[in-house]
């Protein structure tokens, strides 16, 4: 399949005209990858079963993992969901458009393949101007998982989508960096109190401020991931770089010392090592390590949004450099940090040392 790459600059006049062709392709059953504020998505007409099937094939995604339906107008919710739960309105008013996905009872309009046969549907209204304009122009709800090959880190740049999906989709829209950097928060509002199924761009604290009572998503650790690392099942490896990954948790000086000690051993035996640090901890590592290892900073602990924003790009950069082992510091689980730690732990397949 020939994949067309369309670069869209939202600062140009009439920029949205550049989306006309992609919108027509979407409407008529094609696959279009596009930027959202969280990560890039791989879209198809959600009401077209054959088109949605093609998403699963292009990603190599297991068919029992349902997709999020993206809309550009809250009015579309009534077509997709039946008996919209009472809490929905306040959540939509506060967080849409934005990185919050709501799980609601599905309507009969939504094909089984979108929901993987569940009686609920996931709906989100993205805030990225390109995503919004594209969905509006297509005139149909758009089913879109993250635009990566199944299991790999989600794409935050068009080049990540090109790496994974070139030749497998009709169009890739290049709209620059996806700023939030982690996916939307998935919130089940069919139950009381609502439950966070996946921490993401909207934080537990933000949801609590609107809902009062919300059940947070436990930060997974080795104890909650049976089978890992003893028998790491594919089921537990998500967002995974090619490299083996290890997280080290503890006081910053201790963590740096532990990672340095291990890195030296790896370097000596010729293993390519990547180290994921933060701006505040970078100086705790021996300068000599910087010559034998690939060291990347995730961002600043003082601005945790930067940690989320850079995470998937850093994991992919390690892969690009042929790194075989990645060692990473853990982060605070407050606010967006909860989503960052969730992704780090999954990327590491639950491999974590607590000092």
Q: Select from 144-152, 284-292, 293-301, 312-320 the region that touches ligand TXA (CB under 6 A).
A: 144-152
Task: Give yes or no for residue 185 binding Mg ion (CB under 5 A).
Answer: no
Torsion on CA atoms 205, 210, 212, 216, rounded to nearest 10? -40
- Residue partners of 40: CB distance under 8 A and separation at least 6: 33, 34, 146, 147, 154, 155, 156, 157, 158, 160, 161, 178
Among 38, 45, 84, 351, interactor with ligand TXA by CB under 6 A: 38
Task: Give yes or no for residue 122 binding ligand TXA (CB under 6 A).
Answer: yes
Q: Which strand (E) or helix (H) includes residue 257?
A: helix 252-268
Query: What residues pair up with 329 in beta bridges, in sequence order?
Result: 248
Q: What is the DSSP letter of 147?
A: S
**Among ligand TXA, Mg ion, none, partner that 38 touches (CB below 5 to 8 angstroms by kind):** ligand TXA
Instruction: Select 214 or 246, whichever has its Cβ closest to ligand TXA.
Output: 214
Among 67, 72, 165, 348, interactor with ligand TXA by CB under 6 A: 67
**Among ligand TXA, Mg ion, none, partner that 315 touches (CB below 5 to 8 angstroms by kind):** none
Using only the alpha carbons of the chain, give its radius of gyration: 20
Task: Give yes or no for residue 342 binding Mg ion (CB under 5 A).
Answer: no
Q: Select from 9-17, 132-140, 180-188, 279-287 the region that touches ligand TXA (CB under 6 A).
A: 180-188
The answer to whether the CB of 229 falls within 8 A of the CB of 336 is no
CB of 146 to Mg ion, least distance (A): 3
Picking from 276, 280, 278, the residue whose alpha carbon sits closest to that of residue 326 is 276
Size of the site for ligand TXA (CB under 6 A): 26
Task: Give yes or no for residue 183 binding ligand TXA (CB under 6 A).
Answer: yes
Task: Give yes or no for residue 36 binding Mg ion (CB under 5 A).
Answer: no
Pairing verdict, β 171-174 and 4-7: parallel
**What is the C-alpha to C-alpha distance for residues 285 and 282, in angstroms, rounded to an integer?**
6
Among 50, 65, 89, 254, interactor with ligand TXA by CB under 6 A: 65
Q: Select from 37-45, 212-220, 225-233, 274-282 the region that touches ligand TXA (CB under 6 A).
A: 37-45
Write the burial class of residue 131 (CB in 10 Å: 0-12 exposed, 13-18 middle, 19+ buried): buried
Q: Select from 17-25, 82-90, 143-151, 344-352 the region that touches Mg ion (CB under 5 A).
A: 143-151
**What is the C-alpha to C-alpha distance for residues 43 and 29, in angstroms, rounded to an integer?**
10
**What is the C-alpha to C-alpha distance for residues 333 and 167, in angstroms, rounded to an integer?**
39
Task: Give yes or no for residue 272 binding ligand TXA (CB under 6 A).
Answer: no
**What is the C-alpha to C-alpha distance for residues 26 and 172, in angstroms, rounded to an integer?**
12
The answer to whether the CB of 102 falls within 8 A of the CB of 88 is yes
Among 8, 121, 246, 352, interactor with ligand TXA by CB under 6 A: 121
Residues 76-105 that bind ligand TXA (CB under 6 A): 99, 101, 103
Among 36, 84, 132, 146, interactor with Mg ion by CB under 5 A: 146
Contact residues: ligand TXA, CB under 6 A: 36, 38-39, 41, 65-68, 99, 101, 103, 115, 118, 120-122, 124, 126, 144-146, 183-184, 186, 197-198
Contact residues: Mg ion, CB under 5 A: 146
């Amino acid at each position: 399949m020939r994949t067309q790459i369309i670069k869209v600059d939202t600062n140009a006049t009439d920029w949205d005209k550049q989306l006309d062709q992609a919108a027509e392709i979407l409407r008529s059953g094609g696959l279009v990858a596009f930027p959202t504020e969280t990560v890039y998505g791989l879209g198809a007409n959600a009401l077209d079963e054959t088109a949605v099937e093609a998403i699963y094939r292009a990603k190599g995604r297991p068919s029992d993992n349902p997709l999020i339906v993206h809309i550009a107008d809250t009015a579309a919710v009534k077509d997709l969901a039946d008996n919209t739960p009472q809490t929905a309105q306040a959540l939509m008013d506060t967080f849409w458009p934005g990185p919050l996905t709501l799980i609601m009872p599905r309507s009969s309009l939504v094909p089984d393949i979108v929901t993987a046969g569940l009686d609920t549907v996931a709906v989100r209204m993205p805030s990225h101007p390109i995503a919004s304009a594209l969905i509006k122009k297509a005139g149909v709800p758009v089913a879109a998982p993250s635009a990566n090959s199944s299991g790999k880190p989600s794409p935050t740049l068009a080049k990540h989508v090109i790496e994974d999906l070139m030749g497998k989709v009709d169009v890739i829209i290049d709209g620059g960096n996806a700023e939030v950097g982690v996916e939307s928060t998935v919130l089940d509002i069919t139950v009381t109190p609502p439950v966070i199924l996946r921490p993401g761009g909207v934080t537990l604290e933000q949801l609590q401020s609107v809902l009062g009572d919300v059940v947070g998503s436990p930060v997974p650790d080795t104890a909650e991931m049976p089978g890992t690392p003893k028998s790491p099942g594919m089921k537990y490896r998500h967002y995974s770089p090619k490299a083996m990954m290890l997280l080290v948790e503890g006081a910053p000086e201790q963590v740096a010392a532990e990672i340095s000690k291990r890195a030296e051993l790896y370097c000596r035996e010729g293993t390519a090592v990547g180290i994921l640090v933060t701006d505040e901890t970078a100086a705790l590592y021996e300068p000599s390590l910087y010559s034998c290892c690939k060291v990347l900073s995730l961002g600043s602990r003082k601005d945790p949004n930067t940690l989320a924003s850079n995470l998937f790009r850093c994991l992919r950069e390690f892969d690009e450099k042929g790194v075989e082992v990645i060692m990473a510091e853990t982060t605070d689980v407050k606010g967006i940090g909860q989503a960052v730690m969730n992704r780090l732990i999954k990327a590491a397949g639950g491999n974590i040392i607590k000092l």
